[in-house]
Amino acid sequence: MKKIFLFLGVITLTFNSCSDYLDINYNPNSPAEANLTPSLIFPGAEMNLCNQYGNFLRITGGYFAQQYAHNFGTSNYVNYSQWEMSPTRSNRNYSQLSTLCLKNMEAVRNMATEEEDWGTYLAATVIRAFTYQVLVDSYGEIPYTEALNVAILSPKYDDGQKIYEGILSEINEALAKASPTSPVCKNLLFGTSTANEWIQFANALKLKILMRMSDAKDVKNELSALISEGNFPKEDVNWGGKDFWQNANGSANPFFQEEFSTSFGSNQVNVIVNIALVGTMQASNDARLEAAFYSNDDDEYNGGVSGTNFAGSGGSLGSGNWCRPRVVYNTPVFLITLSEIEFFLAEYYAKYGGGNAEEHYKAAVEASFNTLGVDGADAVLAAFPWDSNNYKRVIGIQKWVALGCVNPFEAWCELRRLKFPDFGTITGDHLYNILTYAYTPSVYQPNKLYMPIERNAYLNANTVLQRFTYPENSSSRNSNTPEEKPSDCNKPIFWVK
What pLDDT, on the 0 to 100 scale, is given for residue 46?
A: 96
Answer yes or no: are the C-beta atoms of 2 and 110 closer than 8 Å.
yes
Domain ranges of the chain: 30-246+330-426+459-490
CB atoms within 10 A of CB 24: 12
Residues 436-463 have a mean pLDDT of 96
Residues 351-361 have a mean pLDDT of 96
Rounded Cα distance between 185 and 118, Å, is 10
Residues 2-19 have a mean pLDDT of 40
SS3 content of the chain, % helix, strand, coil (to 5): 50, 5, 45
Answer yes or no: is pLDDT of 238 > 90. Answer: yes
Q: Over the stretch 95-132, which tens digit does the pLDDT of each residue have?
A: 999 989 999 999 999 999 999 999 999 999 999 999 99
Q: Over the stretch 406-419, which tens digit does the pLDDT of each residue have?
A: 999 999 999 999 99
What pLDDT, on the 0 to 100 scale, is given for residue 9?
A: 45
What pLDDT, on the 0 to 100 scale, is given for residue 313?
A: 59
Rounded Cα distance between 259 and 242, Å, is 22
User: What residues have CB less than 8 Å from 390, skipping those under 6 apart?
Assistant: none
Torsion of CA 440, 444, 449, 454, to 10 degrees: -20
What pLDDT, on the 0 to 100 scale, is given for residue 432?
A: 94
User: What pLDDT band is residue 33 in, cutting at 50, 70 and 90?
Assistant: low
Q: Which of 302, 304, 280 is nearest to 73 (CA)?
A: 304
Residues 153-174 have a mean pLDDT of 97
- The reported pTM is 0.94
Residues 300-307 have a mean pLDDT of 96
Rounded Cα distance between 179 and 198, Å, is 10
What pLDDT, on the 0 to 100 scale, is given for residue 49?
A: 97
Q: Over the stretch 221-237, which tens digit does the pLDDT of each residue have?
A: 999 999 999 999 999 99
Sign of CA dihedral 77, 135, 64, 269: negative
Query: What φ, ψ does residue 397 adopt, rounded to 5°?
Result: -70, -45
User: What residues have CB less than 8 Å from 349, skipping those under 6 apart?
Assistant: 355, 356, 357, 360
What pLDDT, on the 0 to 100 scale, is given for residue 450?
A: 98
For a pLDDT cut of 70, what percent of the chain falls above it? 91
Fold of 30-246+330-426+459-490: 1.25.40
User: What pLDDT band is residue 349 in, cutting at 50, 70 and 90?
Assistant: very high
| DSSP at 278 | H
DSSP 158-217: E-HHHHHHHHHHHHHHHHHH--TT-B----SSS--SBSHHHHHHHHHHHHHHHHHHTTTS
3-state secondary structure of 62: helix
Cβ-count burial of 54 within 10 angstroms (0-12 exposed, 13-18 middle, 19+ buried)? buried
Q: How far apart are the two ends of the chain, measured CA to CA in Å?
A: 46
